[in-house]
Structure 1
Amino acid sequence: MSSPTDSARRTAVRYVSFRDTHDALRVGAIARDDPTVVLDLTADVPKGPHGPMRRLIEAASVGAWTAEEALRTATELPRADVVLIAPVPEPSKIVAAPVNYRNHQEEMSSDSQIDALGVFLKAPSSVTGHESVVRLPYTDRRFDQEGEFAVVIGRQARHVRAADALQHVFGFTSLLDMTMRGGEDRSVRKSFDTFTPMGPTLVTPDEVQEIDELELKLWVNGTLRQRADLADLIWDVPRLIAYASSVMTLFPGDVVTTGTPEGVGGVRDGDRIELEITGLDRLAVGVSSAGAVACPTLGAGRGPRPPSELTPVRPRT
């Protein structure tokens, strides 16, 4: 079904990605006042070499695309008929913070945190979406959940100042940094296919309160495992973006994820993980070990080790 949309009625939207019946990538929006409809914006996005979400972000960053005009002629799709994927399904890179909450540093008995470690990269091929399945690759290794607040870059950033960093942000989303524990390089342990669930929506900064006022909560099988205030980040979002941009050029659609708080714990076949951050939509995934094999590397007994018992969730202060 399709019809012209009333842009005056739909001024607050959240961006999404999905695939059509031909498996082609499409980009859309969900209006806050009518979440039963997905507004397909693909036809209005300029052509280019990347997927439609990256093209939308790139065009918006230079004023070549505006939501108001696109929403006026967008095609309406019933939300129940659309299967969302990660909002940015093909970022050029995912830049991640290794230890960016002091309570997580304590829980891992780690001597180092982001001040010493810097950042690391996750493979873009590890990205998956809301209501997907995290597939554990090995039968003999520990895998943990890590809930994180993630930023999607809107304008190319290189050597930006922390004071200007948020001007380079297009939006925010929830992210799970799934992790194999051990001594292998972080980029290996965190880059298995399906190990970066994101979404379900991409929310623009004007729709979210101050970052320092946001709260993160994560549940496994309905039990609260992680709870943190983003004000407790060691490097806040502007400083993290500024540092990352001093190392590498950040392109529109790149993802910068801020690190996880205490409360990481093992996940197993059949588990369900849910992540909620103030102002963002809840991200949920399942876990499966179908097809898992023995691990070919020998890092199981190395590297920082979280406690075998779950770290108690600290009350909000």
Structure 2
Amino acid sequence: MKICRFNHDRIGVVQEDDVYDVTDLFERQLHWPAPLGDAVIGQLEKVLDVVREKLPGIKPLKLSSVRLESPVANPGKIIGAPVNYHAHIEEANGDSEINNGKTFTTLEAYGLFLKANSSLIGTADEIQSAFGGRRTDHEVELAVVIGKKARHVPVEAALDYVAGYTIGLDMSVRGGETPCYRKSPDTYSVLGPWLVTRDEIPDPDNLDLSLHVNGEVRQQANTQLLILNVRRVIAYASALYTLHPGDVIMTGTPAGVGPVLPGDTIKAYVENIATFDIRVAPQFADQVEG
């Protein structure tokens, strides 16, 4: 099932060219202090059967008429896997603007990083390039959305903790600061256009993905090439962090990363999920120069 968030926090099911509004099937009352995690993603597994039952009685909206927001509203953490394709390691070590004097070896040696959840946008928004004098690169990734609390997850059980999958763009300012800083400007995490529940993607380690800028192919690979596959990345992350519903794991980007400029259009694709276009705003954001 394809689950979207649209038109100012409505929850929908996408079927072909239609969206079915199922917002009222979810509990959305405020509780304080709020439990960690995204409340809607945390309910998803138990609500899906009710959604399937009620769907035939709901009048659909046209997909083209709605504004798609990030399918996850409140991720507690956005976790990045910085060097999880061999070809990207090679390209990073060969590009001084990417490596900034470091030598990348393995993901385990380099570790994961966190992106600010305030950097999150959906596909109907625009990317606002930060640091006008610095290079901003695109990075397309398969994004995993966690469905239930997880800690010290064994590799063989890791997919049991997944709510679903979506497309992620991990936008990155190049420079010497830590990735947590350079990858966390507002609008530098894109998710969308919807979440595909895990039952529709039984093997996340065999998905084509690609990215085009202004019609030119920049990145093209398959998740078979991940160094740590999806199960192992989840297990690796859960060994350090307690994962909560709605937490997002960006599983890593393949080779071909490169700069985008104000006014560019990015087309991102992941097999069995979707294709979406998003524009880089025609002006730089009001950011402190570094």
Same structural fold, with TM-score higher than 0.5 when normalized by the shorter chain: yes
Q: Counterpart of 2:3 in structure 1: which amino acid?
A: Y
**CA deviation after TM superposition for structure 1 residue 37, in Å:** 2.0
Mapped to 2, the partners of 1:278 and 1:208 lie a distance apart of: 10
Q: Distance in 2 between matches of 1:114 and 1:258?
A: 11
**What stretches of structure 1 of length at least 5 have no aligned partner?**
1-12, 298-317
Judged with a 3 Å threshold, the aligned counterparts in structure 2 of structure 1 residues 292 and 199 are, in CA distance, closer, same or farther, namely closer
- Aligned Cα root-mean-square deviation (Å): 2.0
Distance in structure 1 (CA, Å) of the matches to 2:88 and 2:188: 20
Q: Any conservation in 2 of the 1:209–1:279 contact (CA below 8 Å)? A: no
In structure 2, the partner of 1:87 is: 71
What does 1:39-188 correspond to in 2, within 5 Å?
A: 39-49=20-30, 54-61=38-45, 63=46, 66=49, 67-109=51-93, 110-188=103-181
Higher radius of gyration, 1 or 2: 1
Structure 1: distance between partners of 2:121 and 2:12? 17
Give 2:217's aligned residue: 224
1:168 & 1:124 partners in 2: Cα distance?
20
Query: How far, CA to CA, are the matches of 1:159 and 1:75 in structure 2?
Result: 43
1:16 aligns with 2:9: no
Asked if 1:193 is matched to 2:167, the reply is no
**Of 207, 210, 213, the match for 1:214:** 207
Letter of the aligned partner of 1:114 in structure 2? L
- Does the 8 A contact of 1:140 with 1:294 survive in 2? no
Give the alignment's TM-score, normalised by structure 1.
Answer: 0.82
Instruction: Assess if the C-alpha contact under 8 Å between 2:219 and 2:254 holds in 1.
Output: yes
- Contact kept in structure 1, 2:132 and 2:284, CA below 8 Å: no
Distance of 1:248 and 1:83 partners within structure 2: 33
Aligned equivalents of 1:163, 1:135: Cα separation in 2: 39
Alpha-carbon offset, residue 60 of structure 1: 3.4
**Residue in 1 that maps onto 2:96:** none
* Aligned residues with identical type, % of pairs: 40
Higher relative contact order (CA 8 A, sep 6+): 2
TM-score for both structures, normalised by structure 2: 0.89
Q: Aligned pairs, how many? A: 276
